[in-house]
Chains A and B, each alone.
Chain A
């Protein structure tokens, strides 16, 4: 709310970039028009590839000079070799996919670590909207129920339960409220947007 869209974007990018050491090989799933990869290339000198299904977004990547591969990741990442990337990112796209478990496992097959960000359905304002009898529309869940591309609605608590079930280790977690303030107290209630750094349990 205090953010312009552009500031919001930069804020997201900065949180993710903070977890990416310079010079890494990075795969960005659902990379949109490649802005995050371009940011990571410019700030972290990464070697990045994007994966995207949407035609206009692929065109945007090519315009941005970003290496992009147009495939549907709902079917998995079968062409990508084991541990061929340092980090694989899925930034605010996991909630728009059906094959949630498969993609999480595939991500940790092709990369050493995964970075996942998603909107928290259990954020205070979202709970309030439900309590008033409406599906939430917020900074991080900006769509009306009838036009949302999202197909999975979940919370930090739900996500962490799934990670435990899939033997995925949560190495770091950060949550932010709608104003972009870091949240430490009860992030499942106070966090609007969540970021996770994930790995395979040793």
Chain B
């Protein structure tokens, strides 16, 4: 792999916050740690910081590689780096693993200070609002009063939107990509299937699987398989796999016959090998609960009235999980409030996953928007 325009070798950092944090659910975390990475340099005016928010399976490792694992490329490395659309020669870019995550931030795998054992299922539910509140503490720690931009795709886009509502003075540009102002019933339904797959795994043990020295691998694997179906478009799946047979003939068995089965199993196995099941459960619930209009009788325009940021909103033509119409809801609610907004509906065949790809037009649009952000 070429390391041109790469931020190169990066080192994850950690910060510990000892002050308790009241969560939206009513639970209180006595304190917490966040794992994060930074790329580029914070300028003297502290005006060039950009926060990258991750989606369901991402984390703080946004760009670059690790010295001890040069194959572990950041999840949005195609976007972030010197000369890339989110240019680290110009911006100070921050990636963070959210609260409840499983890559180093305090979460279900961490020790519960009250018991000394892992939290497991006792880790409180966290919401998008809680994540943003925790990210704000990270911003304080880094000396960032105001983000030049907060950017994210999917669930990450929801965090960018939430930043504009929770801390309207601390964000100049909200970049909301392949996202939605709330999940639809169909979205929640897919999440529920994924959760039930995990919870009904005999190795789940009510979420305390760690104490039993096991992992609900088959549940996690199923959850990821269902997820992957929703990330891809029908047409792309058809193009990529079609009805291709693994063995060139029908085997009349439940082993892999069709290539798509092989793909889903591979993705499921890979994911179940590193992701924590409780984090998966918590994260899907955070998605389900996110609905800034909920406190405004469903009136999204009223909910967005307090936003002050300029917005960039983008959707992808073949994304049926967070379809373009969902992004347009955000756009028109912003328009109602007379906010600045640029909205691009990008032609890309890859469904919801498009936001992670480096489609030339998509990246040109991102680059153009980011270049116009003053620092």
Which residues of chain A have a CB within 8 Å of any CB of chain B? 25, 47, 49, 55, 58-59, 61-63, 65-71, 79-81, 84
Contact = CB atoms under 8 A, between A and B. Distances in A.
A70 B212 CA distance: 53
Given A58-B365, A69-B331, 15 more contacts: A47-B338, A49-B335, A59-B368, A61-B342, A62-B344, A62-B368, A67-B340, A67-B342, A69-B341, A69-B343, A70-B345, A71-B328, A79-B335, A80-B332, A80-B335
A84 B347 contact: no
SS of A interface (majority): mixed
A167 to B, nearest CB: 27
Interface residues of B, number: 22
Nearest to A63: B368
Nearest to A25: B338
A70 B343 contact: yes
A56 B371 CA distance: 17
Contacts, number: 55
B372 interface: yes
Interface string B319-335: 00000000010011001
A59 B365 contact: yes
B141 interface: no
A60 to B, nearest CB: 9
Interface pairs A-B: 9 shortest CB-CB: A79-B332, A62-B368, A70-B345, A63-B368, A69-B343, A65-B372, A70-B344, A62-B369, A67-B340
B342 A62 contact: yes
A47, A61, A62, A84: residue with the most chain B Cβ atoms closer than 10 Å: A62
B364 interface: yes
Interface of B: 312, 328, 331-332, 335-336, 338, 340-347, 361, 364-365, 368-369, 371-372
Nearest to B371: A63
Nearest to B312: A62
B278 to A, nearest CB: 40
Contact of A62 (B336, B345, B372): B372
B143 to A, nearest CB: 28
Contact of B365 (A25, A62, A67): A62
B221 to A, nearest CB: 38
Contact of A71 (B338, B340, B342, B345): B345
Contacts of B369: 62
Contacts of B344: 55, 58-59, 62, 68, 70
Nearest to A69: B343
Given A69-B331, A71-B328, A79-B328, A59 B345 contact: no
Nearest to A70: B345
Given A55-B361, A59-B361, A84 B345 contact: no
22 contacts: A25-B338, A49-B335, A49-B341, A55-B346, A55-B361, A58-B365, A62-B342, A62-B368, A62-B369, A63-B372, A65-B372, A69-B331, A69-B341, A70-B343, A71-B328, A71-B343, A79-B328, A80-B332, A81-B335, A81-B336, A84-B335, A84-B336
